[in-house]
Amino acid sequence: MLRITDARTGRPTDAAPARRGLTRVEAHVPRPDTTGLRVLLVADVLVRALEISGTPVWTVLTGAEGRTELRQRANALGIRPFEEERDSGAGLGEAQVLHVLGPDAEAVDGLRVEVAPVDDESGADDDESASALRLALLARPRHEPVRLGAADLADAEENLRHWRGAVATWATRPSGPIPDPVRQQLRAAWEDDLDVPAVLGVLRKVETSGTVPDGARFETYAYADRLLGLELTRDIGREAPS
């Protein structure tokens, strides 16, 4: 069961209702800057985690200025579309409401998932940089402020190239199931307050493990990417650059 720390109380709270009713994830994004993008990214990963566990989710975007720019940047990062807020404010009878918001957001009722600001000096301005920006933001705990520079983005780009190349190679090997301990470690990481950096740590251990076959490595990375949204299987079947 996914548990999220409620910023109002500081206590872990079940992210999904016990009776598996509809959960509304509402992203409060005041501006289309990188801090706002980080809020929307955390909401996107939260939705993915809920869906993996079988929870029906309704997503809503509220409070944003420059929505066209925000949606363009979000699309480049692989963030799935959120619906516009409804003028009536009426819900759909959801059993749980999760508010994902940044440091300057107004007070709201319901479980609050707070996201720290980003000081972005990376200069990300193309699709490949956007994928690297997604990884760079996911690699930091969401409650910690982030300062991103060009070197951080370059490291993330290199990491992505390496992992995508490795996954493409592992895909040519005989398939194998995800080892149960590895699956449990992945689920334990993201179900513990959506600890995405810990999920990435599990992947690094699997990559260097002397006991996990290549086919099982492939299945592990493909499974984790349902949460991460990094397109780790993108290069399967592509020719390696000369």
Q: Which has more confidence, 20 or 143?
A: 143
- Tell me, yes or no, whether 38 lies in a domain: yes
Q: Tally the C-alpha atoms within 13 A of residue 190's C-alpha that lie toward its C-beta.
A: 28
Task: Say if residues 14 and 48 touch (Cβ distance below 8 Å).
Answer: no
Residue corresponding to tokens 């107004």: 106
Q: What is the pLDDT of residues 71-86, one digit of tens each?
A: 999 999 999 999 987 6
* 72 & 162 share domain: no
- Tell me, yes or no, whether 122 lies in a domain: no
* 17 & 108 share domain: yes
- Tell me, yes or no, whether 121 lies in a domain: no
What's the pLDDT at 84?
85
CATH number where 216 lies: 1.20.120
Confidence of residue 30 (pLDDT cuts 50, 70, 90): confident
What's the pLDDT at 17?
75
What's the pLDDT at 87?
45
What's the pLDDT at 242?
40
What's the whole-number mean pLDDT along residues 92-109? 82
What's the whole-number mean pLDDT along residues 51-56? 92
* 170 & 100 share domain: no
Question: Is the CA virtual torsion 168, 172, 177, 180 positive or negative?
Answer: negative
- Tell me, yes or no, whether 87 lies in a domain: yes
Domain count, the chain: 2
**Could you list the residue range(s) of the whole structural domain that residue 26 is in?**
3-115
Q: Which has more confidence, 75 or 239?
A: 75
* 102 & 160 share domain: no
Residues near 152 by Cβ (< 8 Å), separated by ≥ 6?
Answer: 122, 136
- Tell me, yes or no, whether 130 lies in a domain: no
Q: Which of 115, 135, 168 is the last residue of a domain?
A: 115
Residues near 28 by Cβ (< 8 Å), separated by ≥ 6?
Answer: 39, 62, 63, 99, 100, 101, 102, 105, 106, 108
Verdict on whether the full-model pTM lies above 0.85:
yes
- Tell me, yes or no, whether 127 lies in a domain: no
* 29 & 84 share domain: yes
The number of angstroms, rounded, from the C-alpha of 180 to the middle of its chain's C-alpha atoms is 23
- Tell me, yes or no, whether 64 lies in a domain: yes
- Tell me, yes or no, whether 7 lies in a domain: yes
* 100 & 159 share domain: no
* 168 & 105 share domain: no
Q: What is the pLDDT of residues 136-173, one digit of tens each?
A: 999 999 999 999 999 999 999 999 999 999 999 999 99
* 91 & 168 share domain: no
Task: Say if residues 190 and 49 touch (Cβ distance below 8 Å).
Answer: yes
